[in-house]
Chain A
Amino acid sequence: MSKEDSLFNLSRRDLLKSLAGLPIVGTVWFAGAKTTVDAKHEKKYLLEKLNIKAAPPPPTGPMDGAPIRIGIIGFGIRGEQLCRAIGYATNEWEEAMKEAAAKNPNDTRYKEFKEQENLNIKITAVCDVFDYNAERVLKSFSSADNQVKRFATHKELVNSGTVDAVIIATPDHWHAPMAIDALNAGVHVYIEKPMTHNISETYALRDAVLQTGKVLQVGHQHRQTQSFLTAQDIIAKQILGHVSLVTTNTNRNDDNGAWQYDIHETASPQTIDWDQFLGSAPKVPFNKEHFFRWRKWWAYGSGLSGDLLTHDYDRLNCILKMGIPRSVMASGGIYTHRDGRNVPDVLQVNMEYPDFSTGSSQPAGKEKGMTFVYSATLGNQFDRPTYLMGHDGTMELGNTVSIYADARSTRFADMIKEGRIDPYTPIYQYNPSANATDAVTSATAKYFANKGLLWTYRDGKRVDPTFLHMREWLSCIRNGGKPSCGIQEGFEEAISAHMAGLSYKIGRRIEWDPESEKIIARPGEDLDAILIANEEKVIV
């Protein structure tokens, strides 16, 4: 080997072979960098085009001043959850959560409860017709400086002068009468959904709120869920184009989901004020099942249309602001839980909005009108997402939001042609939990989480939307302002749900007259009586 041919004492050939790794490194590096950077640019380009804001709303006002005195009316499953959301947990719950956290360090429910902001409230009064429930409140929520007082009736409670506000979490047939009495006594109201149990009381409650000027918030806590706020922005920017169809669903397949709640061992005519529970409902002898599983009968509850359709309806009403449908057709039956209930466990509801539009990318006048479909079964829990289907795109909605461009979209036609948009890959995804993890425990909990009912996020931190919803209510009481699910939203929710219930029961299309603000009845028809009639379907 001559000196000229070598460097490092290697032949030129060997030298090249030794150095061959360098260009390979350069090539791989360049390819990796280019792929990633190009994808980033594409993403940025799309995001700028779409210009969707996922910013959280400004926080509600300060919780200063004298503590707000709160009375809890109905301390069952939901009443207990609502109290916890404002910082009052029962001793039993705290013990159970401490134990769960000791067993599983990832179970942060107790820690999160303890870290929750103090809302500067005092639970001062309780009214529950079941002794066990009322006593749990007295035992757990009383302290040296705050002895919780039990009242035998809601009327005594709201007129006692011991409360500024009440939380109503009773069976549906008591919602409106209690809320109206509270408002007339000058007491603010947080009321569980459905807002009312029949049509006439829906108007009466609206009048009471408007006349008294007190703050009423309906318990649709998902209005606080950030993915829904993001979805509102997507609609406002007309990214989906004209939405002609919305499909929402309930799928549950467990006893709890079918309202087969536990019957407490201490329940008896001695521990339950049965007459007061019945209220306006037909007089029937003491019945534990009716008491604990009241959602299964029209006399006290409203089945899928009142309990679960209302969630989906309000979720969409919060995004689309579509209001009361012009007409509703519903059908279904008791097909999976033939246990003596008279509310359906399979229900399909079609709500028509012939004049509604989310905007159009096509010639004026071509697109108008929308159908809202609610499809539910309590006999299967396959997760069906909510879809908002527009000419330009589809939104898949849960705690996350995904947008797909439609292959035949007008708005995105050029970008699809240029290959910048693939109709089968989301053009936008909002996942507030990307940097956090959920430990949802049961199928029903997962279902709620997916619906945006369980958790939402603020600054990357998991927050219970019920807490935010109740905080907003308290802030409106303290600082003024309008709650996000006030009487107008509640009115629309209740009327729409009642139309669905009526259509199921009567078996025909139920129409709404927006001029007179009335559900159209046929001569001689008493819609309220039909709606709450407690027998099997009246007419099929």
Chain B
Amino acid sequence: MKTNLYSSGQNTSLVLLRLFIGWHFLYEGIIKVYNPSWTSKGYLLSASFLKPFFGWLASDSMVGIVDTLNIVGLIAVGLGLLLGLKIRWAAVGGMLLLGLYYLAHPPFGGMEQGPVEGSYWIVNKNLIEIGALAVLYQFPVYTALSLENLFSKKKAETIAS
């Protein structure tokens, strides 16, 4: 059994955080998989920051690849976090995706925000989720929700000792 030196409350909190973020990513990915008319084009074209870059991603030759990579990325990160496989890889992938979402529509003063459900300045939910994934990267807890745990008892025991 992979264990670590945190209290059970700490472990539970970290696993819950991983569950929530994994759930969020997986659901976002699945919604898009089953909706073939979904495309990131509108989001990219309405970018308020780094317009040339996002405009290029939205171009006819790129947008198909971008859409596919986004969906695959969302599902892979979601599965990684929910199943506890390659948690650190998933955290990095998730941060990259969120970083792109953040940069396309950053809540900087004076920039067009588009439809948002709250009030944000510099920090928004994307940025907070990036922070949460950074925590998971630093503390990839395997005590629960972890297939990796099944195969790495030895390693875990070493950590525990």
Question: Are A and B bound to each other?
Answer: yes
Chain A residues at the B interface, C-beta cutoff of 8 Å? 8-11, 14-15, 17-22, 24-25, 28-29, 31-33, 35-37, 39-40, 106, 435, 437
The proximity string for B residues 10-48 relative to A, scoring 1 for CB distances below 8 Å and 0 otherwise, is 000000000100110011011101110001010001000
Knowing A36-B31, A37-B34 are in contact, say whether A11-B23 is a contact too (CB < 8 A): no
Are B79 and A25 in contact, CB atoms less than 8 angstroms apart?
yes
Are A29 and B146 in contact, CB atoms less than 8 angstroms apart?
no
Q: Could you say which of A10, A19, A33, A37 has the most chain B C-beta atoms within 10 Å of its C-beta?
A: A19
Are A25 and B83 in contact, CB atoms less than 8 angstroms apart?
yes
Are B145 and A24 in contact, CB atoms less than 8 angstroms apart?
yes
Which of B118-126, B128-136, B148-156 makes up part of the contact surface? B148-156
Chain B residues with Cβ under 8 A from A35's Cβ?
A: 31
Classify the interface of chain A: helix, strand, loop or mixed. Answer: helix
Chain B residues with Cβ under 8 A from A40's Cβ?
A: 34-35
Quick check: is B1 within 8 A (CB to CB) of the other chain? yes
CA of A17 to CA of B41, assembled, Å: 40
Residues of B in contact, count (CB < 8 Å): 30
Are B1 and A10 in contact, CB atoms less than 8 angstroms apart?
yes
Partner of A21, one of B27, B31, B45, B83: B83
Are B23 and A14 in contact, CB atoms less than 8 angstroms apart?
no
Are B31 and A20 in contact, CB atoms less than 8 angstroms apart?
no
Chain B residues with Cβ under 8 A from A9's Cβ?
A: 1, 153
Chain A residues with Cβ under 8 A from B29's Cβ?
A: 32
Are A10 and B30 in contact, CB atoms less than 8 angstroms apart?
no
Classify the interface of chain B: helix, strand, loop or mixed. Answer: helix
CA of A31 to CA of B27, assembled, Å: 8
Partner of B153, one of A10, A20, A25, A29: A10
Chain B residues with Cβ under 8 A from A28's Cβ?
A: 23, 26-27, 30, 78, 82
**New A-B pairs, 5, CB < 8 Å, besides A20-B145, A437-B45:** A10-B1, A18-B84, A21-B146, A25-B82, A36-B35
Give B37's nearest chain A residue, CB to CB. A434
10 tightest Cβ-Cβ pairs between the two chains A and B:
A32-B30, A36-B34, A17-B144, A21-B145, A21-B83, A8-B150, A21-B82, A18-B149, A28-B26, A36-B35
Chain B residues with Cβ under 8 A from A11's Cβ?
A: 1
Are A18 and B23 in contact, CB atoms less than 8 angstroms apart?
no
Give A25's nearest chain B residue, CB to CB. B82
Q: Could you say which of A9, A15, A17 has the most chain B C-beta atoms within 10 Å of its C-beta?
A: A17
Are A8 and B151 in contact, CB atoms less than 8 angstroms apart?
yes
CA of A37 to CA of B30, assembled, Å: 11
Chain A residues with Cβ under 8 A from B41's Cβ?
A: 435
Knowing A10-B1, A18-B150, A435-B41 are in contact, say whether A33-B145 is a contact too (CB < 8 A): no
Chain A residues with Cβ under 8 A from B79's Cβ?
A: 25
CA of A17 to CA of B16, assembled, Å: 12
Give A106's nearest chain B residue, CB to CB. B55
Quick check: is B143 within 8 A (CB to CB) of the other chain? yes
Chain B residues with Cβ under 8 A from A25's Cβ?
A: 26, 78-79, 82-83
Chain A residues with Cβ under 8 A from B33's Cβ?
A: 32-33
Residue pairs across A and B with CB atoms within 8 Å: the count is 80
Are A20 and B144 in contact, CB atoms less than 8 angstroms apart?
yes
Chain B residues with Cβ under 8 A from A435's Cβ?
A: 39, 41
Chain A residues with Cβ under 8 A from B160's Cβ?
A: none
Chain A residues with Cβ under 8 A from B27's Cβ?
A: 28, 31-32
Are A10 and B150 in contact, CB atoms less than 8 angstroms apart?
yes
Are B1 and A14 in contact, CB atoms less than 8 angstroms apart?
yes
Q: Could you say which of B29, B30, B33, B153 has the most chain A C-beta atoms within 10 Å of its C-beta?
A: B30
CA of A14 to CA of B84, assembled, Å: 14
Quick check: is B96 within 8 A (CB to CB) of the other chain? no
Q: Could you say which of A9, A29, A106 has the most chain B C-beta atoms within 10 Å of its C-beta?
A: A29
Are B150 and A32 in contact, CB atoms less than 8 angstroms apart?
no
CA of A35 to CA of B143, assembled, Å: 32
CA of A21 to CA of B149, assembled, Å: 12
Chain B residues with Cβ under 8 A from A33's Cβ?
A: 30, 33-34
Give B39's nearest chain A residue, CB to CB. A435
Taking the nearest CB of chain B, how far is it from the CB of A402, in angstroms? 17
Taking the nearest CB of chain B, how far is it from the CB of A491, in angstroms? 43
Chain A residues with Cβ under 8 A from B146's Cβ?
A: 18, 21
CA of A488 to CA of B134, assembled, Å: 71
Taking the nearest CB of chain A, how far is it from the CB of B79, in angstroms? 6
Give A37's nearest chain B residue, CB to CB. B34
Are A29 and B144 in contact, CB atoms less than 8 angstroms apart?
no
10 of the cross-chain contacts (CB-CB < 8 Å) are A10-B149, A15-B150, A18-B84, A25-B79, A28-B27, A28-B30, A31-B30, A32-B27, A32-B30, A106-B55
CA of A502 to CA of B59, assembled, Å: 52
Quick check: is B147 within 8 A (CB to CB) of the other chain? yes
Are B147 and A18 in contact, CB atoms less than 8 angstroms apart?
yes
The proximity string for B residues 60-88 relative to A, scoring 1 for CB distances below 8 Å and 0 otherwise, is 00000000000000000011001110000
Give A33's nearest chain B residue, CB to CB. B34
Give B29's nearest chain A residue, CB to CB. A32
Taking the nearest CB of chain B, how far is it from the CB of A370, in angstroms? 36
CA of A17 to CA of B35, assembled, Å: 33
Taking the nearest CB of chain B, how far is it from the CB of A49, in angstroms? 19
Taking the nearest CB of chain B, how far is it from the CB of A9, in angstroms? 5
Taking the nearest CB of chain B, how far is it from the CB of A110, in angstroms? 19
Chain A residues with Cβ under 8 A from B45's Cβ?
A: 437
Are A32 and B82 in contact, CB atoms less than 8 angstroms apart?
no
CA of A540 to CA of B30, assembled, Å: 66
Give A1's nearest chain B residue, CB to CB. B1
Chain B residues with Cβ under 8 A from A18's Cβ?
A: 84, 144-147, 149-150
CA of A29 to CA of B35, assembled, Å: 13
Give A18's nearest chain B residue, CB to CB. B149
Are A32 and B31 in contact, CB atoms less than 8 angstroms apart?
yes
Taking the nearest CB of chain A, how far is it from the CB of B42, in angstroms? 9
